Amino acid sequence: MDLKKKLFEEIKAVESLSTLSFAKSHSIPHQDVVGALKSLEMVADGFLKTEISQSHSLELTSFGCNLIDNGKSPEFALFKRVEGLQGGVHRKILQDEGLFESFNYAKMLGWVDMDQNQNVISKKEVEEDICLLTLQKLAIDPNLKPSSLILNILLRRKALKKITTKYFIVQKGPNFKFNLKEQVTELTEDMIKRGIWKDLSFKKYNFIGGAVSGGHLHPLLKVRAQYREKFLEMGFTEMPTNQFVESSFWNFDALFQPQKHPARDAHDTFFLADPAYCSKLPEDYMQRVKQTHESGGGTGSLGYRCKWSEEEARKNLLRTHTTAVTARMLKNAADMHPFRPVKYFSIDRVFRNETTDSTHLAEFHQVEGVIVDYNLSLGDLIGILHSFFLKLGIASLRFKPAYNPYTEPSMEIFSYHAGLKKWVEVGNSGMFRPEMLEPMGLPSDVRAIAWGLSLERPAMIMYGIDNIRDLVGHKVDLKFIRETPICSI
């Protein structure tokens, strides 16, 4: 008969049962009995009524066992050593003999004491070694209750230890049944075919799910999908940003970014050794850009009043922003006659030759939106930014004057972060400078409003990630990819 059945039969027979005594009387390890009990409990709700309880018992340590073997406790040995000796024995001598360490305990028993000259003397007649006797009795009956003094000494001597055992008091529950059917785990094809499921008893479920097999999309790209969706919902057309290598001309010069601007330092930008230069620049347009840089070129600007070099403009680099592509798209729009208003967006990789840390990588995703139309205003930019960020769940925005070489006016976008309890920068925006638009050939009353932000930063906030390398790159934990929730902005 298996243990579960044995236990069931016993519960049937008695009013109340202790798992501990059941284990003892059947010489079964207690933990096996508890296992069988758990399994019986699963038969039905209220099948059993169990109550947890504790029992304390004493157990001899190996040191305690040794004392029994020696036939003498150290305290008794000390007492015997000094018994009846006039003037006792000096502690030094006892220390050398290895007997002194039990002095405190022997003193607690009232067997010995020490005089002013540090001599240990016996106090009274002692017939029996009560420590040894107690240990011997406990070895036979662990439930014995020794006097508190002796117990205290033996515990402090580490001759004994207290053992606490958790066990269960089991009674029949309200739904107890005297007939225990064989329980099965799974409903099988065979049971259905033969119709035997009706007669079977099924194990209760513990409702713990298993892992789902299958693949998973990357968390950052789930966020990208949502951002793309927002732009598409707002009628923006996606720009062809699949071109990481760009010329300085389109990345900087077309944007009226001066050739001596610090961003064009090798410290900030990845320049290319091969292919080092782009092959051709649009000649007429390049001349207009050159004149605008040098002297304003009829745009009403002073320009930068220093020489503009074509060689500098032909230097290839890894684009530092997707605005390089925007510049190409605006030039295309300018080349269309008549001009038709456009709304563009992109989300793609950009590159910065910066020292990387927990929030900066050498490459990241830039989100960019731009509207080009007649007579756009800063109020339009503020309005569209409110609509865009509202779609991302950000309701309160503030704008700070800022500087950007190719936008004027420029505005940094701040939103209130409830967690950090302060305003944090969430993006940058502005109106493209006339020195950028006019050389392209856009009509002079056409204005362009644009904004940009990084994709990683909001994703890190969304997923509660502190280190950007936990989000992108090869060191990302696949478990994280598997377990991130949907992006529901």
Alpha carbon distance 330, 442 (integer Å): 8
Among 31, 243, 332, 359, indicate the residue that binds another protein (CB under 8 A): 243
Contact (Cβ atoms closer than 8 angstroms) between residue 307 and residue 329: no
Closest approach, Cβ 26 to another protein, in A, equals 41
Strand pairing category for 201-202 and 183-184: parallel
Among 183, 409, 441, 470, indicate the residue that binds another protein (CB under 8 A): 409
Closest approach, Cβ 3 to another protein, in A, equals 34
CA atoms within 13 A on the CB side of 396: 7
Give the chain's radius of gyration (CA, Å).
Answer: 43
State yes or no: residue 401 binds another protein (CB under 8 A): yes
Least Cα distance to 460 among 361, 353, 348 occurs for 361
Among 14, 85, 362, 395, indicate the residue that binds another protein (CB under 8 A): 362
Q: Which stretch binds another protein (CB under 8 A): 6-14, 129-137, 191-199, 267-275?
A: 267-275
Distances (CA, A) of 485 to 79, 220, 278, 365, 481: 74, 11, 44, 21, 9
Decide whether 160 or 446 has the Cβ nearer to another protein. Answer: 446
Contact (Cβ atoms closer than 8 angstroms) between residue 374 and residue 342: no
Closest approach, Cβ 408 to another protein, in A, equals 5
Residues 162-221 interacting with another protein (rule: CB under 8 A): 213-218, 220-221
In what helix (H) or strand (E) does residue 397 lie, and over which residues does it extend?
Answer: strand 397-401
Tokens 């509660």 map to which residue? 464
State yes or no: residue 76 binds another protein (CB under 8 A): no
Among 19, 241, 257, 320, indicate the residue that binds another protein (CB under 8 A): 241
Residues 437-476 interacting with another protein (rule: CB under 8 A): 447, 449, 472-476
Among 144, 398, 417, 483, indicate the residue that binds another protein (CB under 8 A): 398
Terminal-residue alpha carbon distance, the chain: 60
Decide whether 68 or 402 has the Cβ nearer to another protein. Answer: 402
Decide whether 193 or 280 has the Cβ nearer to another protein. Answer: 280
State yes or no: residue 43 binds another protein (CB under 8 A): no
User: Which x/- pattern over 116-145 shows residues binding another protein (rule: CB under 8 A)?
Assistant: ------------------------------
Q: Which stretch binds another protein (CB under 8 A): 29-37, 131-139, 163-171, 373-381?
A: 373-381
Alpha carbon distance 163, 370 (integer Å): 75
Distances (CA, A) of 389 to 100, 332, 397, 415, 463: 82, 28, 8, 9, 18
Least Cα distance to 159 among 128, 140, 135 occurs for 135
Alpha carbon distance 112, 289 (integer Å): 108
What are 396's two structure tokens? 């309160």
Alpha carbon distance 137, 140 (integer Å): 5
What are 433's two structure tokens? 């400078």
Contact (Cβ atoms closer than 8 angstroms) between residue 47 and residue 39: no
Residues 287-316 interacting with another protein (rule: CB under 8 A): 296, 299-306, 316
Decide whether 156 or 398 has the Cβ nearer to another protein. Answer: 398
Closest approach, Cβ 207 to another protein, in A, equals 23
Tokens 């947890």 map to which residue? 52
Q: Which stretch binds another protein (CB under 8 A): 39-47, 103-111, 140-148, 370-378?
A: 370-378
Among 270, 339, 416, 463, indicate the residue that binds another protein (CB under 8 A): 270
Closest approach, Cβ 240 to another protein, in A, equals 6
Alpha carbon distance 265, 370 (integer Å): 27
Beta strands in 443-484 (DSSP E): 446-454
β partners of residue 317: 246, 271
Alpha carbon distance 466, 345 (integer Å): 28
Closest approach, Cβ 458 to another protein, in A, equals 16
Among 353, 391, 392, 470, indicate the residue that binds another protein (CB under 8 A): 353
Decide whether 427 or 434 has the Cβ nearer to another protein. Answer: 434
Q: Give the number of residues in contact with another protein, rule: CB under 8 A.
A: 103
Closest approach, Cβ 427 to another protein, in A, equals 14
Closest approach, Cβ 303 to another protein, in A, equals 7
Among 37, 376, 442, 468, indicate the residue that binds another protein (CB under 8 A): 376
Among 2, 190, 199, 274, indicate the residue that binds another protein (CB under 8 A): 274
